[in-house]
Structure 1
Amino acid sequence: MDTITLRLFQSEDAPWLIERHGTLYAREAGFDGTFAPLVAKIITDYLARHDPAREAGWIAEAGGRRLGSIFCVAQSADVAKLRLFLLEPEARGRGLGQRMLGHCMDFARAKGYAGMTLATHESHRAACALYARNGWQIAQTRPVRAYGCDLLEQTWDIAFH
């Protein structure tokens, strides 16, 4: 694989990001067609309202091919929210997820956030293991019916010291 770079998300990345979330989550988690429109709304809101001084999104890329995404947005004045973390299957297991998570967390620290939060599902075991290895802790777990599936939704938090 070519050298992987992380670059800032651009509006031209939106169709790819929406499609890949919809396709991968359908294939890997059984999510229905309601998931991609949620991703589209998140991206539309980000493009319309994000504060570039405190929020950013990145695309991992190699040889002009997009391999993943991660976003850091404001949840509140003191807490950042990790969103839209995605890795293409062929990019997994090579340390790229760790690199992207570290980059996002470093950004949040540099922008003065006291901590971060994220929402995921218990079924995303590899991502949850990555969060745990980096000091994140489960703050809440609750059963939900979403995207055509019965899921255990988790909120993970980390405080910066």
Structure 2
Amino acid sequence: MQDDVVFRRFDADDAAWSVAQHRKLYDDAEGFDDSFGDLVEQIITDFLNDHDPLQERGWIAELNGVRLGQIFCVKLDDRTAKLRLFLTVPDARGLGLGKALLGACMDFARDKGYAKMQLWTHESHEAACALYRKFGWELTNSKPVHSFGVDLVEQSWEIEL
């Protein structure tokens, strides 16, 4: 990863970018319909309106003011954090940015006293799933579904911190 990439806290000014990136990238890569972007928008709205800044955080990765990626750590319960909205833009892939974002998110969860983390994704996200495995995450559930206008294999992952 380039030394001049910075991670900063996600804020309300990032919301439109995040929703637009999710809509475009998931439509282009997988044919997702607008219901996916609507879900992302609701997750972000809920986070901005109701997150606990001491126990939850969103990050934006930037290079020279250009957003390259994001990740969120949110509270499920006192012991469990959930990784959400992990994304890197196509031009930033393969540079180690995903590793750095995932590491920062997991370190934050450990530092805040969470004992484990969970996430939800799709089997088609091969690079992300390979990264989760590399970091020690375990696949806990996998099932075929029809979501966001397409047939998918939904996955749940978990890691003890």
**1:13-52 matched pairs, under 5 angstroms:** 13-52=14-53
Shift of residue 121, structure 1, vs aligned partner: 0.1
Shift of residue 5, structure 1, vs aligned partner: 0.5
- What residue in structure 2 maps to residue 159 of structure 1? 160
Shift of residue 20, structure 1, vs aligned partner: 0.3
Amino acid aligned to 2:87: L
Q: Write the deviation string for residues 81-139 of structure 1: whole angstroms up to 9, x where unpaired.
A: 00000000010001110000000000000000001000000000000000000000001
Looking at structure 2, the residues matched to 77 and 144 of structure 1 have their Cα atoms a distance apart, in angstroms, of 30
Equivalent residue of 1:54, what SS? Answer: coil
The alignment status of 1:133 with 2:97, answered yes or no, reads no
- Give structure 2 stretches of 5+ with no counterpart: none
Amino acid aligned to 2:31: G
- What residue in structure 1 maps to residue 70 of structure 2? 69
Per the normalisation by structure 1, the TM-score is: 0.98
Shift of residue 2, structure 1, vs aligned partner: 7.4
Shift of residue 77, structure 1, vs aligned partner: 1.0
Per the normalisation by structure 2, the TM-score is: 0.98
Equivalent residue of 2:139, what SS? Answer: strand
Equivalent residue of 1:34, what SS? Answer: helix
Amino acid aligned to 1:130: L
Looking at structure 2, the residues matched to 27 and 76 of structure 1 have their Cα atoms a distance apart, in angstroms, of 34
- State, as a whole percentage, how many aligned pairs show the same letter: 54
Q: Which runs of 4+ in 1 moved over 4 A?
A: none
When the two chains are superposed, the root-mean-square deviation of aligned CA atoms in Å is 0.9
Q: Write the deviation string for residues 47-100 of structure 1: whole angstroms up to 9, x where unpaired.
A: 111000100000000011000100000011100000000000010001110000
Q: Write the deviation string for residues 136-159 of structure 1: whole angstroms up to 9, x where unpaired.
A: 000100111000110000000000
Looking at structure 2, the residues matched to 126 and 2 of structure 1 have their Cα atoms a distance apart, in angstroms, of 23
